[in-house]
Structure 1
Amino acid sequence: MSGFFSKSRITASTGFNRWLVPPAALSVHLCIGQAYAFSVFNDPLTRVIGVSASAPEDWKLTTLGWIFSLAIVFLGLSAAFGGKWLEKVGPRLTMFVAACCFGGGFWVAALGVYLHEIWLVYLGYGVIGGIGLGLGYVSPVSTLIKWFPDRRGMATGMAIMGFGGGAMIGAPLSVLLMDAFKSADSVGVMQAFLVMGGLYFISMMIGALTIRIPPADWQPEGWTPPQVANKMITQNHVHIDQALKTPQFYLLWLVLCLNVTAGIGVLGQASVMIQEMFKGSVTPAAAAGFVGLLSLFNMGGRFFWSSASDYLGRKNTYFVFFVVGACLYALVPSMGMIGNMAMFVLLYALIMSMYGGGFATIPAYLADIFGTLYVGGIHGRLLTAWATAGVLGPVLVNYIREYQIHHGVAKADAYNVTMYIMAGILVLGFVCNLLIKPVHEKHHMKHDEFDELDGIYPATVEEEG
């Protein structure tokens, strides 16, 4: 069995079409992106016992909110700790484990719903499913970068776009299944979990079975590395453990964390925000459409901006995110004050495109700075910035809003201070991005320290001096 998952078994033969790899990555990311749509289960889960209405024994929304939070926390933790293992064992085994965890997490959660034990739902979707999220998120990234050294940004954008778009499949699928299984005695959540667990496991296994890695020193036909040196794109490699000893890693961590913090808090409150800022002009249905539009721009921005970074450069692309983003956030309160809903929607659509673009561009940025050998593992550790931002963003938006309202500020104006704070956060991100320089050569690996038997997983790193 170990031979089936080995790197030698999935190393592509001569003439392999590299464009077969992105669909394998998408088959995983479109599944795990369902996490963004988990909120469609929240209301039915508050009626598991009462069915038509919540019973006293039913779970509260505050209790259910921890399911998604746990999933994101364990996404970050599993990506951080599993990234190094990924580089050692290869993407097939990692994607297989991700499929087992994500699909199996649904099944454990289904048992929790059946027994009405919330800890089983936490364990299933939150912990086990969260581990599947993290391993599934990072598993195709380094492989795509190795297959597309000429278009790193575009390659990672194709896969990570799938994560942004997973909710567009997951949300209607969830509703369809719950409607199909609901009855006088059931809201249909348990059965939906069982079916989705099976469907997602199969889809992710298709990705695991079809993924391939390039032979050592492979290059696209007719392509040679640029002869003109770009200081921000290294031709060397940095070991995953050595990367943590560089200031570049922590600056990039802050760059991702600050960009995500500014976007994720607003994304979670988008529906309420537009209804409160344009009181009486926006119906709940229209607000839902606004959220759907933001999701489209979130998804499209992942592909557009990461592809654009191949031409602009990764550092310059993040400059655009921070400079333009700060200006857009600063303009939002004005649009609310003058009642210009069209411009309000446009500003947030652009903000969300750059929020998504930040996720998709960061793996290529890491490959430029640290080389490609350990980019999957380094990316995994950097995703702890996402987990951090997932807490900071909503806390900033929610608590500042509550503070404002408590002190007599009208609900329509309660987000103004928050928008200016978000603009300030992006200015701080601009400074962090400005400070990023090429990694000092003392951190580079020596060529004679590569493990010749593997060719992909290096043995040691160059020590200082």
Structure 2
Amino acid sequence: MALSFLDRSRTVAAPGWSRWLVPPAALSVHLAIGQAYAWSVFKPPLESSLQLSGTQSALPFQLGIVMLGLSAAFGGTLVERNGPRWAMFVSMVCFSSGFLLSALGVATRQYWLVVFGYGFVGGIGLGIGYISPVSTLIKWFPDRPGMATGIAIMGFGGGALIASPWSAQMLQSFGASTGGIASTFLVHGVVYAVFMSMGVLLVRVPREGWSPPGWTRPAVASRPLITDADVSARNAMRTPQFYLLWIVLCCNVTAGIGILEKAAPMIRDFFADTATPVAVGAAAGFVALLSLANMTGRFVWSSTSDLIGRKNMYRVYLGVGALLYLVIALAGNSSKPLFILCALGILSFYGGGFSTVPAYLKDLFGTYEVGAIHGRLLTAWSTAGVLGPLIINAIADAQETAGRSGPALYTTSLYIMIGLLVVGLLANELIRPVSDKYHEKPAQVAVEEGQTT
């Protein structure tokens, strides 16, 4: 049977297979699904051609992030059981199909089909694809988990770096009418299916008992929060550490995703009343810059966390991030370079938070079911995917109705984001090592891991 090719047993690496082939396999999926961060490029043409408000045009993106978290939460155990190749294949089918349905929806002027296709179906592809390589990478790189997950997950942040100018160019070539938008969605669906298939073919899992040459598992934890035990996904859900980390991730994501989703119109609004307003092309370039910061932060900051620890790294994300938001709020539209630099810093911390959290989970709960735990934790992303754009768009729409313009459209939102980051900072300070009562028995872990290898 053709689908037996997707079985976990068919993906066990042969002796001598290089673990450095796994990050490129993960990147092929994450670079594709990272297109979600370029959604703001589609907002203006959709609003113009289908007469939508800013809040309405954000719905596909918001639903996509909601479905990302929900599919990751409910599919995390399936991903652990069936393996990364199965997960990447499911992600490819759903993500590409979402674009094809969206193309049909725009062509027939049925916006609900765009929301359903890109948001619901494509969102399932986002969630399954996002978590598909995480536990595999951690098992291949037990010596450098932060770096390994950072390499792969930076692809999700960098996806828009490719998709933003590519989408803008296609909209310019095809036209910003319904026909042009539909054609752009159609090309996305086909091209991403081909690109993601490379990851499906390449990915492997380590054989039972494998470890990096010359590396031995530390007998004693090198830092207080790092455990040498394992916790199941079910038990992890019973710990206060899981919910504190959920709050940390939710606050960090909410503070970044609102800006990212509305990046192109936001920078244009911010400097609309100045002597040098931002052109449409420059706004698309700003989205690409944010994507570069998002991507770079995912690798640089997560790798740094291997050296300074996850808790310290999140102190930087949340504490310094709040200060950067405060600078934007106080500076207003007085300095375009300052606005851009602060936004780049915020988005680098936003991306770093995503790539550091799998290693944080590994430190707290071990590697046993880290993929499933990660999937459940991503419900924080679902919540943030609604809160962030809702806060930014709803307040901006209300301020515009009240006759305000420029930075005044966003000032209230910026202070809300500062408050959320402070809440996340406090939650991070409360995280302590997981109690022994939640640890699994080593014999049971060995049996179950042997059954799924």
Gaps (5+ residues) in structure 1? 48-53, 459-465
Instruction: Give the letter aligned to residue 309 of structure 2.
Output: G
Which residue, 155, 175, 180 being the options, matches 2:148? 155
1:81-135 deviations in whole A, cap 9, x for unaligned? Answer: 1111101111111111111111122222333334433333333222111111110
Alignment of 1:387-402 (within 5 A): 387-401=382-396
Alignment of 1:231-242 (within 5 A): 231-242=224-235
Aligned to 2:323: 327
Q: Which has the larger radius of gyration?
A: 1
| d(CA) in 1 for partners of 2:224, 2:413 | 37
Aligned to 1:295: 291
| d(CA) in 2 for partners of 1:343, 1:41 | 26
Which is worse superposed, 36-45 or 442-451?
Answer: 36-45
1:27-56 deviations in whole A, cap 9, x for unaligned? Answer: 001111111223333444467xxxxxx4xx
| d(CA) in 1 for partners of 2:373, 2:174 | 43
Q: Give the superposition deviation at 1:428.
A: 1.4
Q: Give the superposition deviation at 1:271.
A: 4.5
| d(CA) in 1 for partners of 2:367, 2:201 | 23
Aligned to 2:205: 213
1:424 aligns with 2:424: no
Aligned to 1:73: 66
Check whether the contact 2:37–2:291 (CA below 8 A) recurs between aligned residues: no
Alignment of 1:32-431 (within 5 A): 32-45=33-46, 54=49, 58=50, 60-61=52-53, 63-178=56-171, 181=174, 187-229=179-221, 230-278=223-271, 279-285=273-279, 286-336=282-332, 339-401=334-396, 411-413=406-408, 415-431=410-426
Instruction: Give the letter aligned to residue 142 of structure 1.
Output: S
Instruction: Give the letter aligned to residue 327 of structure 1.
Output: L
Check whether the contact 1:178–1:187 (CA below 8 A) recurs between aligned residues: no
1:442 aligns with 2:444: no
Check whether the contact 2:160–2:288 (CA below 8 A) recurs between aligned residues: no
Instruction: Give the letter aligned to residue 151 of structure 2.
Output: M
Aligned to 1:13: 14
Gaps (5+ residues) in structure 2? none
1:244-296 deviations in whole A, cap 9, x for unaligned? Answer: 11111100100000111122223334445545554314422244443332222
Check whether the contact 2:64–2:118 (CA below 8 A) recurs between aligned residues: yes
Aligned-residue RMSD, C-alpha: 2.7
- Greater RCO, 1 or 2 (C-alpha within 8 Å, sep 6+): 2
Check whether the contact 2:107–2:178 (CA below 8 A) recurs between aligned residues: no
| d(CA) in 1 for partners of 2:170, 2:337 | 35
Q: Give the superposition deviation at 1:3.
A: 3.6
Which is worse superposed, 110-119 or 227-236?
Answer: 110-119
| d(CA) in 2 for partners of 1:450, 1:273 | 49
* Aligned CA distance change for structure 1 residues 181 and 7 (closer, same or farther; 3 Å): same
If the length of structure 2 is used for normalisation, what is the TM-score? 0.90
3-state SS of the aligned residue for 1:354?
A: helix
Which is worse superposed, 101-110 or 86-95?
Answer: 101-110
| d(CA) in 1 for partners of 2:254, 2:410 | 15
Aligned to 2:26: 25
Instruction: Give the letter aligned to residue 284 of structure 1.
Output: V
| d(CA) in 1 for partners of 2:403, 2:178 | 44
Which is worse superposed, 188-197 or 80-89?
Answer: 188-197
Percent identical pairs in the alignment equals 54
| d(CA) in 1 for partners of 2:57, 2:397 | 21
If the length of structure 1 is used for normalisation, what is the TM-score? 0.88
| d(CA) in 2 for partners of 1:276, 1:179 | 22
3-state SS of the aligned residue for 1:219?
A: coil
Higher helix share: 2
| d(CA) in 1 for partners of 2:425, 2:203 | 37
3-state SS of the aligned residue for 2:58?
A: helix
Q: Give the superposition deviation at 1:365.
A: 0.6
Which is worse superposed, 218-227 or 201-210?
Answer: 218-227
Instruction: Give the letter aligned to residue 198 of structure 1.
Output: V
3-state SS of the aligned residue for 1:60?
A: coil
* Aligned CA distance change for structure 1 residues 153 and 180 (closer, same or farther; 3 Å): same
Which is worse superposed, 284-293 or 257-266?
Answer: 284-293
Check whether the contact 2:236–2:365 (CA below 8 A) recurs between aligned residues: yes
Check whether the contact 1:34–1:170 (CA below 8 A) recurs between aligned residues: yes
1:41-75 deviations in whole A, cap 9, x for unaligned? Answer: 3444467xxxxxx4xxx453555432222222211
Instruction: Give the letter aligned to residue 195 of structure 1.
Output: V
| d(CA) in 1 for partners of 2:345, 2:141 | 27
How many pairs were matched up?
447
1:339-383 deviations in whole A, cap 9, x for unaligned? Answer: 244333322221211111111111111111111121111111111
* Aligned CA distance change for structure 1 residues 377 and 265 (closer, same or farther; 3 Å): same
* Aligned CA distance change for structure 1 residues 38 and 410 (closer, same or farther; 3 Å): closer
| d(CA) in 1 for partners of 2:292, 2:168 | 19
Check whether the contact 1:31–1:203 (CA below 8 A) recurs between aligned residues: yes
Check whether the contact 1:162–1:299 (CA below 8 A) recurs between aligned residues: yes
Q: Give the superposition deviation at 1:430.
A: 1.2
Check whether the contact 1:157–1:360 (CA below 8 A) recurs between aligned residues: yes
